[in-house]
Chain A
Amino acid sequence: MKMYKETFKRLSPIGIALAVATLIYTIITGGQDCFGEYTRGYSTTAIGMTPVLVYYVFTAIVFGMYGFSFLFQRSASDLFHSLPVKRTDIYLSTTLATATWMGGTILLNVLVMLGMQLVGGIPFVPAYVPLTILFYFVAAMLVYAATAIGCALSGTFLTALASTGVVLFLPRFVQFIIARGVVAKTSIIGWLDLGTFLNPMSNVATSLVVAQSRGVYIPFMVNLSYTLYSLIPLALELCLAAWLFLRRPSETAEHGTGRNIWAAITACLLAFAAMLMITVDNKPLISMYGGALVAIAFLVFVVYQVIASRSVKQILFSLPLFLVSGALAFGISLSIGGISNSMLNTTPKPDEISSVTFRGHDYRYGKTEYTTLLVSKIAYTSESMKKYVSDTLSDAVDRVNNPNRSSYDEYSQYQVIESITLKLTNGLSIDRTIIFKNIDTLNELRSESDDYQTAIHAFPQNSEIQSLSVDSTFTKAESQAIWDSLVSESQSLGLISNDYYRKQTTIQNLNNDQYNYMRYSIGNEQTLSGISTDGFVSQQRFADYHNLRFETPKTVKLMMETFNKHMKADTTARLKEAVKHIASPLALENDSMNLSLTFYNVPWTDGEHVEIPVNLYISGYSKQSDTYADQYISFMQRFADILSRAKPTSDPSKLFVWLNWTEYDSTNGDSSNDPQCFLSIDPTDEQALSDLINEYTSLY
């Protein structure tokens, strides 16, 4: 205990400096997040809660190096080893003191951020608090353990740092190289489909480095299973460090690696790491890159030993080891092919599949919709589903194995990519990300499950929603009222809550002209704005956008009423004036105007009522440069003229228009953006409007 207190005190200069630095950063970023001009309406990911800790974790190297610095100085080593203290106690004291400083700093940062979020009223996920603390602590201790091993093997800072790098990164680098090869060769196995061993996120310390280059994995980083898995290497590395520390000859101080064999092995491993790069993209050995990498590897091999052992004789004797590292790298390269083929060609037959789970079409992007979260928890066991998935997987494998097979011919606008997990009857499970040719076929098969039916009709509970937004002009209560109405009406009508799980083939293109890509919604598919929701189910974030369609007329009516409540009474009159100004020769070059209109219930040739968007933009500059400028101005003038007689409406059953327009006056730098509104067309203008829309759509 005394030695622990003493070591804690000895580490205090570093501990205090880093704790203060991280706290300042947390307070500044937290202050901006929680009390700044733009505060978040929903919780960040766990990693975003205290981002400074991502970097703090790696200061465990400093703690380790400082804590064990006595090993690198003969006089200090002599004193420490002459004290009546067991080596075990010295090791444990340093480890516990580091754990206390780092754990305390992590805890303090998380609690300070939590306090600011509570005071600022910023939503957060309670489960993130213990999870974040545990995650960063395990990551920090993993870095520390690697440093402790490096120090126990070395007699100088430089060799300790090199050894730490080897221990911390080499195993993961080898795994990364293998994983990269498998992902590149198989196509249907993504990074997150790899097993725990190859998954770059499973080691929480190195996952922080991986996420720096692949931000898509950030939402997956702070994960209880990865954290618990990381406890295994942590325990092993701490034990290994203790064992090496106990056996470390005291005379190693100031003498590189102490024993030449360690210097040779470390140099060999460093050279091996450099040569592994050859396997990336299969660089030929006899090429500029291949040759350069071998040269770099050799340089690393020699330079490290010069520093560590200071003996030319030792380098000459150890030269065969360089060939060993080359052979190892070559072996890894060969094994990637074997592992890839083995994983790729694992195509279980339907009777070998116990259940199928769909982790989601958006799983690999790290952003999941609420419905997908629910759907991803369902295990499908029907024979039809097993067969469909088995056939689809076999087909996907066949495509990879036969690159000449044209994928263009098989392309379908209804195909989707889904990440799946197949639980096999032998107890194993495999993860793949494959293309399903028709989402409707897939959804029909999924529909056989009652759980699926429940999931696709479910909406997030209010307690799960952190942020709800319809329009920036709406109050919280107004947005909530519209949301409540949508949920209630959709559930009473039995509507599917997420578009992805609806029948996709109902979307039609009414225009027969194949070169016209404008897509019109018809009848009840006509869509007015939508509602964004963000929230969490347990620790999983969801983000949704719910389209508001005519199929829920009560909610549409409420939405129209709410928009019109915020509209300006003279908006159409001022629109006409604004159009007049931009059309006149007096408009300056930087003056501009944007007119967005969506007409609803426009009668179409086949008797259907459709939704037609119109977007017109003109500026003083484009009037001179755009050959169609006169046409745009003419359309603006005629639409503005019709709209000047329109009246606010909340009746979605008749012809009406959604109006949104902005004007920029460069004379005084004013930008006016009138609140959006819904207007009914004067019956006397209906024919003129219909003609105008026809004229517009035929041109654009």
Chain B
Amino acid sequence: MITAKNLTKKFSDVAALDQLNCHIPDGCVYGLVGANGAGKSTFLRLASGVYRPDSGSITLDGVNIFENINIKKRFAFLPDEFWMLPQSSMCRMAKFYASAYEHFDFNRFNTLSKEFGLKTDKPLSTFSKGMRRQAATILALSTGADYYFFDETFDGLDPVMRNLVKQKLYAEVFDRGATVIITSHSLRELEDTCDQLALLYKGGVVLESDVGDLKTTLFKLQVAFAGEYDKSVFDGLDVLNVSRQGSVSTLVVRGDKEKSRALLNAKAPLLLETLPVTLEEVFIYEMEALGYAFDTAEGGTIK
């Protein structure tokens, strides 16, 4: 398990991470979501041993990561911008990786390259941004690492390749028990990918939870009663948000879905419907409940 305790990293006077705490369990896909400048990339660089923490710690099973070769052997980091050797091909880069990763798997590299339809002897400089992203992913997956750190990894990938990458990541988790840590500024991107999600805000984790739990413990109910009614009719429910249009109210409720329905049914509603809730909405309501300002413009982008 990767554990961050009071993790702090400053650049000049600006704290990119400030007293951050989180736990990343093994064998899951862990999503880090946050606005630009929230500290996602900084966290990944600290977690993968690129940066040294200013204070606090980040450890794997209790052992500090920075400059710890035995730990870094189990890590593969894919930054948001993939660097390649000048005039190099995928093959050349594979050899470069192999010089550092003793278990670099050339068979897997060749298989993945074929699956992605990339020519390994072609200069990387002729690749499109998306193709380079794929190449970088293939190289990372060929290292045989136990922990993968992907920074904005789906940027530049078309939907087909995005799904293929996701499949490969799932396979790593399910088949080998690997742990994947992905950052994104888009909740929708991570919604169907991650098991665990953490929301970074101004250098700290403001929410960290299991995605399944989030979706099952939070639900939306649409209800209408005959005649006038007020909020007291919802007493007994853990309501996070209420909105009303005419006689129909929409509630965001936390708790047991059936018990909540039974409670409202007992009050003879004219209408009682359970509506699906998106992860984006879950985050919005949870965040509002925590008192954070939250803007959902631009398709779920957190500001």
A residues with CB within 8 A of B: 2-3, 5-6, 10, 13, 70, 73-79, 81-87, 249-251, 260
Number of chain B residues close to chain A: CB under 8 A: 29
B83 in contact with A75 (CB, 8 Å):
yes
Binds A, one of B45-53, B112-120, B232-240, B248-256: B45-53
B122 close to A (CB within 8 Å): no
Q: Across the A-B interface, how many residue pairs have beta carbons closer than 8 Å?
A: 68
**Majority secondary structure of chain B interface residues (helix, strand, loop or mixed):** loop
Given contacts A73-B83, A250-B51, A251-B51, contact A83 B100 (CB under 8 A): yes
Query: Which of B12, B81, B98 sits near A75, CB closer than 8 Å?
Result: B81
Q: Is B73 an interface residue (CB 8 A)?
A: yes
Q: Is the CB of A82 within 8 A of B99?
A: no
Interchain CB contact (< 8 A) of B100 among A10, A85, A249: A85
Are B49 and A76 in contact (CB-based, < 8 A)?
A: no
Chain A residues with CB under 8 A of B75: 82, 84
B83 touches A84 (CB 8 A): no
Q: Beyond A75-B81, A75-B83, A251-B11, is A82–B69 a contact (Cβ under 8 Å)?
A: no
Which residue of chain A has its CB nearest to the CB of B101?
Answer: A84
| 6 interchain pairs, CB-CB under 8 A | A70-B83, A84-B73, A249-B51, A249-B52, A250-B50, A251-B51
- Is B81 within 8 A of A6, CB to CB? no
A2, B99: Cβ atoms under 8 Å? yes
Indicate if B294 sits at the interface (CB-CB under 8 A). no
A85 and B69: CB pair below 8 A? Answer: yes
Partner of A74 from the list B81, B99, B149 (CB cut-off 8 Å) is B81
B50: nearest chain-A partner, CB-CB: A81
C-alpha spacing A250/B45, complex, angstroms: 10
- Judging by beta carbons under 8 Å apart, are B69 and A84 in contact? yes
Contacts of A6 in B (CB 8 A): 95-96, 99-100
Bound complex: CA of A78 vs CA of B72, how far in Å?
13
Inside 8 A of B50's CB, which chain A residues have their CB? Answer: 77-78, 81-82, 250
Asked if B67 and A78 make an inter-chain contact with CB atoms under 8 angstroms apart, the answer reads no
| Bound form: Cα–Cα A322–B77 in Å | 43
A81 and B69 within 8 A (CB): no
With A75-B83, A78-B83, A251-B11 as given contacts, are A84 and B72 in contact (CB-CB < 8 Å)? yes
Q: Using CB atoms, name the residue of chain A closest to B11.
A: A251
Name the residue on B nearest A309 (C-beta): B12
Q: Provide the bound-state CA to CA distance between A10 and B50, in Å.
A: 22
Chain A residue numbers with a CB within 8 Å of B149 are 82
| Minimum CB distance partner of A311 in chain B | B12
* Chain B residues near A260 (CB-CB < 8 A): 12
Q: Is the CB of B83 within 8 A of A76?
A: yes
Is B270 an interface residue, CB under 8 A from the partner? no
> What's the Cα separation between A2 and B51 when bound, in Å?
24
Q: Is B85 an interface residue when CB atoms closer than 8 A count as contact?
A: yes
In the bound complex, residues from chain A placing their C-beta under 8 Å from that of B12 are 260
* Whole-angstrom CA separation of A45 from B75 in the bound complex: 56
A82 touches B49 (CB 8 A): yes
B174 at interface (Cβ–Cβ under 8 A)?
A: no
Q: Check B82 for interface membership: any CB of A closer than 8 A.
A: yes
Q: Determine if A75 and B48 form an interchain contact, defined as CB atoms under 8 angstroms apart.
A: no
> How many Å lie between the Cα of A83 and that of B77 in the bound state?
8
Closest to A314 in B: B12
Closest partner residue, chain B, to A93 (CB atom): B99
| Minimal Cβ-Cβ distance residue in A for B93 | A79
Bound-state CA distance A35–B67 (Å) is 57
Inter-chain contacts of A82 with B (CB < 8 A): 45, 48-50, 72, 75-77, 79, 149
Q: Which of A5, A79, A87, A250 contacts B83 (CB 8 A)?
A: A79
Which of B72, B82, B95 interacts with A83 by CB under 8 Å? B72
B76 / chain A contacts, CB cutoff of 8 Å:
82
B69 touching A3, Cβ below 8 Å: no
- Complex Cα distance, B84 from A70, in Å, reads 10
B100 touches A84 (CB 8 A): yes
Q: In the complex, what distance in Å separates the CA atom of A70 from the CA atom of B100?
A: 15
Closest CB-CB distance, A311 to chain B, in whole Å? 8
Check A86/B45 contact, CB under 8 A, given A76-B83, A81-B50, A250-B50.
no
Q: Mark B39-59, 1 if CB is under 8 A from A, else 0.
A: 000000100111110000000
In the complex, A84 Cα to B72 Cα: how many Å? 5
Q: Which of B50, B72, B85 gathers the greatest number of chain A CB atoms within 10 Å?
A: B50
A contact residues around B100 at 8 Å (CB): 2-3, 6, 83-85
Which residues on A sit within 8 Å (CB–CB) of B49? 81-82
